Each structure stands twice: as C-alpha cells, then as structure tokens.
Amino acid sequence: MTLTECQLRSFREDGYLVVEGGIDPEAWLDPLMSEYERVLDRVAHEFFEQGRIASRYADLAFGPRFVQVGHEANDTLGQYFDCSLPQVGVEAETPCWFGPCVFGAVTNPGLLDLVESVIGGEIYSNPVQHVRIKPPESRAARDEAGDIKLGATTWHQDAGVILPSADLTDVLTVWFSLADAREEHGCLLAVPGSHRWGLLDHCPTAHGLAVPPEAASREGAVPLPTRRGDIILLHKLVLHGSLPNVSDEIRWSLDLRYNPVGQPTGREAFPGFIARSRRDPTSELHDATAWEGMWREARRALAVAPEAGPYHRWDGSAEGC
C-alpha cells in the first residue's frame, strides 16, 4: 500500500496520519503475538522460580497473564519484550527481545511501502524503536511513592528524545497496535499542525522527557484510536502523548522509526540497518539472526562502556523547565 496524494497532504498538514488497514493482522501480527507469548512464558517461568509470583499462570491468555505477572511481581516487564536497550544501566544480561517476527514487522514490505511514500526509497531502520505493553492503570506496577511506573505517555516530540546530530534527519515514526487501541485503552493523542512549531524544550520527569504545558498548548489535541492493523505515521516534530489505560485490557503497540539512508539516527550507540534500497537492493538486511547479533554486540559494548550516553540533549536546564 502506498499513500495517496490526499493522504500525503493530510500528513503534511497535520503532522500525523492514520492509515486504516495498513498492515495485515493475520499475516504479520498473529505470528508476532505468538512470539511474544513464548517470551511471556519464559518470564513467568523465571519469576516463578525466583519466588516473585505464586504461579506461572499458564492457563491465562496473553493479556490477563501479562497483567497478573506484572501486578504480582510489581514489575512493568517492559524490558523483557522491548526491541531496544535502556538508556542507562545496560548490563551484559539486560533483557531484550529481537526475535524473527519482530524483525519481520520492522521490515514488513507493506509498511515500508508507506514509509517510502514519505521519505523515499532509501530507507534506514532507525534504532529508536520500542514495544510497549501497558496494563490497566488499576493493576499497573507502582514505585515506592505509589506512582504508576508505566502509565500515560508524556507529551513530547520524537525529535526531542534523540541527539542534535539528527536535527536535519527526516525521521518518520510508524506506530501500530497489536490489538484495538481505543480511547479507554490509552490511545495516542496528537496536536494537529504542531510539527510546524519547531523543536520545543523537553524536561526530564519521573516518567520520561516531557514538553511542559507552559511551552506548548495541548488545545485541539485529537485522540487517535486504532483498530488492529491500522498504522499511525508521525512527523518527528508533532506534539503527541497518550491517554491513560482505564480499560481492563492491555494496550500493546510497537513504535518504529525510519530515516533516509546516510542520515544520522540521533542514537548512534544503537545499531540500525538498511531496510530498503531501490538503488542497491544488495545492501538491504534480510537476516533476522544478524539483526539480533548487532543488538547483542551493542549490549556487550554498552555494558563495559556506560559512558556511551547521553542519548538526548536535555538536562533540565532548558528555560521551560
């Protein structure tokens, strides 16, 4: 699927675009979900052996099992499923997941067709990518102060969470959910046209970088609910966040990023690769095992060189903070 001229105009005007049915759920999402079920099985086994949970809860479906394991262990579980490394505290055995079905999602031909419509046919897989599984806030893990560890996403711009080296890079975010993400699940919110405001000050908070309300109005923010298989494209400067998950189900999504080949990624300590090249198809990476190996090597290097950061420009001294 490629974007129509009408869709491209909408993306350029608003800074985001919801593409209904952008990815085939049965062909691409079902295998991905099955892969994550095996990851959760290993996590549940590990936590049970450690005495952190009373049962493996093997009789539960993925969503209820994820919620129960995380709630009982008071753990977000996020890093076990994530297809990236944390920005601090990387160790030799920091958990992460770079399975073949995740690689298949990153290199999905239909998804890359959409990306090509926006940034052209020389596509680099930017390593700033995440799998996010958010439980209902009523059952979420909490810190010592009683605050939710992983709740509603703070208001930010994707260009704000990477280094200045990528200020001129044409980064495109591709977001999709593995199950319906309605408003009650904590769907995304975006402010139409905010990508024309330039890069805003971001302030470090307990829940990640955030654009303070004084720096940019949220007025006119639009909720972006999606059905399974829909894709949201986001300009790197569009101001966006999410609603809290007030449902009794998980919100399960991937956000992937791409940029033209040869442009800086803004997080050079993490590995990227050429996902598509119309000029030189032989340069494309098609080996999921090689991709996993690149990340494992990055983990090894970062575990012995923690000074590899910072990963963004903000230290709290910006005027807006």
Give the domain CATH number at 200.
2.60.120.620
Give residues with Cβ within 8 angstroms of 192, minimum separation 6. 13, 14, 15, 16, 220, 222
**60, 123, 145, 211 from 153: Cα distances, Å:** 27, 27, 19, 11
**315 in any annotated domain:** no
Question: pLDDT by residue (tens digit) across 168-210?
Answer: 999 999 999 999 999 999 999 999 999 999 999 999 988 889 9
What is the model's pLDDT at position 204? 92
- Give the global pTM: 0.96
What is the model's pLDDT at position 310? 80
What is the model's pLDDT at position 307? 67
**79 in any annotated domain:** no
Domain containing 258 equals 14-23+101-299
Query: Running DSSP on this structure, what letter comes out for residue 200?
Result: P
Domain count within the chain: 1
Mean pLDDT per 10-residue interval, the chain, length 321 residues? 96 98 95 98 98 98 98 97 93 96 97 98 98 96 91 95 96 97 98 97 91 92 97 98 97 97 96 98 98 97 80 88 88
What is the model's pLDDT at position 234? 98
**312 in any annotated domain:** no
**285 in any annotated domain:** yes
Helix (H, G, I), strand (E, B) or coil at 234: strand
